Amino acid sequence: MVSVMSCTVTLGFMILMYIFETYLDIRQHGALKLPSLPKQLDGVVSQEKFEKAKAYSLEKSHFHFVHEVVTIVMDITILYFGVLPWFWKESGDFVSRMGLNSDNEIIHTLSFLSGFMVWSQIIDLPFSLYSTFVIETRHGFNKQTIWLFFRDMFKGICLSILLGPPIVATLIVIVQKGGPYLAIYLWVFMFILSIVMMTLYPILIAPLFNKFTPLPDGELREKIEKLAASLKFPLKKLFVVDGSTRSSHSNAYMYGFFKNKRIVLYDTLIQQCKDVEEVVAVIGHELGHWKLNHTVFSFIAVQILTFLQFGGYTVVRNSKDLFQSFGFDTQPVLIGLILFQHTVMPIQHFVSLGLNLVSRAFEFQADAFAKKLGYGKSLRAGLIKLQEENLSAMNTDPWYSAYHYSHPPLVERLAALEDLGSKKED
């Protein structure tokens, strides 16, 4: 018989992880309260920006403590008091009252997910409203109205209603009929789904929330296209997205497969980096990820981990012990996936830490790539400008950073750029 982790052990691990992560949060909170800039930023970042960033980071930290307490209490309550099996039974009873067949697992599962989505929206709404219209507004970042906020929420719900049922139904059918090759079938389905979503999201879904317009002709467009051509990057379209309608935070990203690549700049990035060379340097960093095959490696790594997860799921999916330890007397497909995710949480935390370490290494490599292109000084200036304008934390705890950050702190990136310059001089 396959040995599985019981509900009690899972609860114990959740509590231990909460204690550990709270300890890291406390360390980070202490770092945020430091009265002065780190020496690498002293004289580089203005005292006014430092004080604003400090206030913003501390308020987000306080909010995070409250949110995490509520989250862990809710999670423990749901598992310890058997809310999941109760809710599964209630969703089946609701299907019966509606005159539908509750023995149909697909209909039963969709009923369960619908109720869960409503519950999640109710629980998350106060936190989202406070974060957006209190914290972000107080520090000058929020640009959206309450109408736009709820309109985006409504669009997200509609997309879930449209896309969720066929995906869930397909997963259930695959598990029910997969046989000995179930892990392979599940992985193939998720692989195809990820390709389809990566293709359709920027073309059909993202424009539902933001307006994408071609970057106007001018110096910036000319330099980005010249840089892309020099690296043989198959740039087909160059967009500006109206991120400023919702927030003054800034970003840039690339997407597309094979010879159909696109670059998207947030309008806030262009507004904040007045020097064209700084924006081009940021794009040079992003192109470094492409040239060094970071995106390909990350995609392959995710596919391998997904396959391994499905392999693990196939081992325990028929274990009555697993379902009974969480209070279930039946073995629904969706519930099996949820319970499996809970039981492999310890492994997931280690995997997440490993992926963060790899991601941080990639960021240093992309910075070095941009510097090699001749954008070292501009990249440095751009990183500092973005740190200031986004009021990102200036002081970070090394333990917290190593555990949570997929990108290295600014001081580490600047130090690495300086080391590259000194080595080049040597």
Q: Which two tokens stand for residue 296?
A: 């390909």
Q: Which two tokens stand for residue 403?
A: 């555990």
Three-state SS for the chain is CCCCCCHHHHHHHHHHHHHHHHHHHHHHHHHHCCCCCCCCCECCECHHHHHHHHHHHHHHHHHHHHHHHHHHHHHHHHHHCCHHHHHHHHHHHHHHHCCCCCCCHHHHHHHHHHHHHHHHHHHHHHHHHHHHHHHHHHCCCECCCHHHHHHHHHHHHHHHHHHHHHHHHHHHHHHHHCHHHHHHHHHHHHHHHHHHHHHHHHHHHHHHCCCEEECCCCHHHHHHHHHHHHCCCCEEEEEEECHHHCECCCCEEEECCCCCEEEEEEHHHHHHCCCHHHHHHHHHHHHHHHHCCHHHHHHHHHHHHHHHHHHHHHHHCCCHHHHHHCCCCCCCHHHHHHHHHHHCHHHHHHHHHHHHHHHHHHHHHHHHHHHHHHHHHHHHHHHHHHHHHCCCCCCCCHHHHHHHCCCCCHHHHHHHHHHHHHHHHC
Please indicate whether residue 21 is annotated as part of the active site. no
Q: Which two tokens stand for residue 15?
A: 């509590």
Handedness of CA 287, 291, 292, 294 (dihedral sign): positive
The CB-side HSE value for 148 (13 A sphere, CA atoms) comes to 14
Catalytic residue among 278, 286, 388, 397: 286
Please indicate whether residue 286 is annotated as part of the active site. yes
How many C-beta neighbours within 10 Å does residue 98 have?
A: 10
Q: Which two tokens stand for residue 325?
A: 């330890």
- Assess contact for 335 and 84: CB atoms under 8 A: yes
User: In Å, how far from its chain's centre is CA 258?
Assistant: 24
Backbone angles phi, psi at 65, to 5 degrees: -60, -45
Catalytic residue among 278, 363, 367, 388: 367
Amino acid at site 161: I
Catalytic residues: 286, 367
